Amino acid sequence: MEQIEIKIQRVTDLFDDIPLPEYSTNGSSGLDLRAAVENEMIIKKGKVGLVPTNLRFEIPVGYEIQVRPRSGLAAKNGIGVLNSPGTIDSDYRGEIKVILFNFGEEDFVIKRGDRIAQMVLSKIYRANFIVTDDLKNSSRGDGGFGHTGIK
């Protein structure tokens, strides 16, 4: 499997006890991101929380990091990444913060070092648009928004 070097920096040393992103298993495609909060952070039901990670990255040009929800948090607590997947561009150098939304029935408590999201490194391709009056037909055509039904 190809590996790409990503430079990582902690914003401050106040959270040095929090592990850096890591793969949980050999087959994991996502690395866990953890909350860099002093004590606790509460996301009320139906509300948004911006959770700091205390991390900055230098991502090579031609790649992005996508921030995605953790399936366990989504299934058990109704916690999702609001702009899923969130994109971290190669030229961004600020702190990574995760926009979590509480879709659940109860307030959600985040503690220091909790795994709050996952990040996936992805190769990107740049589009070169060509204006044309002629597009090839497809079997789908312009059908959209549920045109095939649910059964």
What does the pLDDT read at residue 82? 93
In tens digits, what is the pLDDT along the chain, a chain of 151 residues? Answer: 789 999 999 999 999 999 999 999 999 999 999 999 999 999 999 999 999 999 999 999 999 999 999 999 999 999 999 999 999 999 999 999 999 999 999 999 999 999 999 999 999 999 999 999 999 998 888 877 877 777 8
Cα separations in angstroms, 141 against 109, 130, 134, 148, 151? 47, 20, 13, 12, 20
| Residues 9-123, CATH architecture | Distorted Sandwich (2.70)
What does the pLDDT read at residue 107? 98
What does the pLDDT read at residue 144? 79
Residue ranges of domains in the chain:
9-123
